[in-house]
Amino acid sequence: MRKIPAKYNENLTICEFDSEQEWLEFRKDRIGASDVSIILGVSKWKTNDGRIKTPRLLWMEKLGLDKADCDNVATRYGKAMEEPARQMYQKIVGEEFKATCIINKKYPYLMVSLDGLNITQDHAVEIKNCCEADHLLAKEGKVPAKYIPQVQTQAMVTELPFVSYFSVHNEDGAIVKSAKDEDYCKMLEKELSKFWECVETMKEPALTDNDFIDKGDDWLKKAKELFEVQQAKKIATDQEKILKEELKLLSEHRNARSGDFLYTCSVGIGRVDYKSIPALLDVDLSQFVGKPIESWRLRKLKTA
């Protein structure tokens, strides 16, 4: 990978890659513009196994805990048609454009892979080979809602006053000049920073409705059975704690017996509090963390 300072903005760096795999590895350590609609809950993209891309699934991808395959006929078609669409756009506007990856030192956790940037680096374009409904919106001068986060992130990272959105459908092109929305970009910076903090701290982002799949009566029956068992267990556990404390008081905190029962106290060594060790205060212990441990919890939604 090569990093080249942008000509007209000292905050920007252009990144060049020798292979798509190198680009994918670089992208894994940052939020890409196409990730933003997922983080904001705007996207409804599905993986090949039918899951909707949610902030949690994206978080797992960034940490290497999941690999959501989204390579399908539609995505392959989009990639194949990107260059012809770029050629069409160049003819319309009379300039040459090159696919370009840019990072900004203001946002070290972000990157944008532009479908096109002109030679003077003051005009960027996002190209979409769209369905008819999305293309009709572009013909009306509107960017479809699901693409607004991506285009605005591109404007924010490149610090350009606008990004062109170019919609193509059946060899018909429509250009929407999408101006940078300062208030929207402030919201983006806040939400994207929050998500990236989850990645850095390995704290799972909040679950959404799309993180769950609806199941039928058989699942509901089994869930009710488990919930009732858990509730009975909780009641028994609470009763156990009370009886233990009462028996401890009656034992005067000493080993005691009566009839066939013995009540004994054993003392073990406490756990090491690593945070209290001065020599480890500046040591990154995350590299010593073991494999993720799955934990399943059944909850009952509160009803009004």
pLDDT digits (tens, 9 = 90+) for 21-73: 899 899 989 999 999 999 999 988 888 788 889 999 999 999 988 877 666 66
User: According to the model, what pLDDT value does residue 70 have?
Assistant: 60
pLDDT, position 304: 61
Q: Is the pLDDT of residue 256 over 70?
A: yes
Q: How far apart are CA 227 and CA 233, in angstroms?
A: 10
Tell me what pLDDT residue 45 has.
81
Beta carbons of 113 and 10 less than 8 angstroms apart: no
**103 with 141: CB under 8 angstroms?**
no
What the chain holds in terms of domains, given with CATH numbers, is: 2-209 (3.90.320.10), 218-288 (no CATH)
Tens digits of per-residue pLDDT, 180-215? Answer: 999 999 999 999 999 999 999 999 999 999 999 889
- Residues 86-111 have a mean pLDDT of 96
- Residue pLDDT, tens place only, 75-87: 676 677 889 999 9
For residues 225-231, give the mean pLDDT.
Answer: 96
